[in-house]
Structure 1
């Protein structure tokens, strides 16, 4: 296996964002006179993008399409205010990103978070410059677990899916990578919709991004040409 690029999930892999998501979710629910959700509930709701998070917060009320549309609008307002305020880098992320950058191949962040939140968050957390490509949840008509976001990232980096290692935290990431034809490794922390990843489902479980970089290094047979962020 010759690795030429990496794609990395955002929420639950690079960043612990659940605090901000909980603030925005419960502010949205308060606007709609609906009961608040616990942090544990919201943690389990994260993984398939903003609209699914909102629908899961609404519960039975999500059958009302007009209410869902209003809830999404209110969530956008509140999350724009909360985005990054209590978000934290997971341990090992900066050291891991530095190690990956030293390997010389391009990195892409592939997330289901909408672009209006993704790039400001990457910048606020000081990690935007590590990524040659950012694919957000609304960059394409499809989100993970569909393969298109990974294919798009690979094409932008000049890599083939089989030569791209995907790093994530959930079955959602594994399904996207398998569908795209990418090898995939997972961290055991993060947001997995209540279903922890199993080592049998991915190519490896790694404790953090430092170990992910070591795993990637073991797969590099010849150093690729470094690539900058596309203009």
Structure 2
């Protein structure tokens, strides 16, 4: 089976609001107030919890590596408590997923979000059963940009890892696909969308309506 594997944060859904809220929960506990700004810092949010803590502490002149280590579990707990308060799928995302499934493709997710949190988010949003596979940051001993999580996501979705495409929003996704020797499609509507063309993916995606038409021309090509 041919498969389409999706990144989650910044690709299928804008999760930045809930991530920033969790980080600001930590900064308030530290006595700094709300350091990161909804919308303005979305690109930082989608780079992960440790990056949010690092950037926020640097912004207030209080960065210490041990502070990041101390509050990372606090951030994860706060995020899990309110994981779906602001998160929303990008327009047409789930319609495109359903169209691909109807056309006979397996669909799965390969994310650098911890698997349990990704599973929780998809369950809360009511779409976990739509995806045949879910590989998170801690599912395997390695994470993206190592190609093995992508290959495993394709396998768990019932597909051949050599006949998949990765839809993502970052250089991490581009490098993962390149390492696996398969094509990537990078979305241009996320916080870092303007930077995607410079990564030279096999295709750019400006709206999810276009994805079902892009995929047949990409899968099976060797890179």
TM-score bracket, shorter-length normalisation: 0.7 to 0.9
Distance 2:83 2:24 in 1: 14
Residues 1:175 and 2:175 are matched in the alignment = yes
Equivalent runs, 1:176-195 vs 2, <5 Å: 176-192=176-192
Separation in structure 2 between the aligned mates of residue 116 and residue 106 of structure 1, nearest angstrom: 22
- 2:107 is aligned to 107
1:208 aligns with 2:207: yes
Distance 1:61 1:114, change over 3 A: farther
Deviations 1:108-134 (A, max 9, x none): 111111122111111222221221100
**How far off its partner does 1:147 sit?**
1.6
Partner of 1:5: 3
Shift of 1:45: 1.4
Equivalent-residue separation in structure 1 for 2:44 and 2:169 (angstroms): 14
Partner of 1:49: 48
Pairs within 5 Å for 1:74-93: 74-93=74-93
Mapped contact 1:91–1:208 kept (Cα < 8 A):
yes
Secondary structure in structure 1 of the residue aligned to 2:197: coil
Change (3 A) 1:177 1:47: farther
SS at match of 1:108: strand
Q: Distance in 2 between matches of 1:51 and 1:184?
A: 26
Q: CA deviation at 1:161?
A: 3.1
Unaligned runs of 5+ in 2: none
Aligned length: 217
Quote the Cα distance in structure 1 between the aligned partners of 2:12 and 2:80: 19
How far 1:14 sits from its partner (Å)?
A: 0.7
TM-score when scaled to structure 2?
0.87
- Structure 1 residues 219, 77: closer, same or farther in 2, change over 3 A? closer
Q: Measured at CA, do residues 91 and 22 of structure 1 come closer, stay the same or move farther in structure 2, by a change above 3 Å?
A: same
How far apart, CA to CA, are the structure 2 residues paired with 1:195 and 1:215? 20
Q: How does 1:1-231 map to 2 (within 5 A)?
A: 4-35=2-33, 36-40=35-39, 42-59=41-58, 61-65=62-66, 67-192=67-192, 196-198=195-197, 201-219=200-218
What CA RMSD, in Å, does the superposition of the two structures yield over aligned residues?
2.3
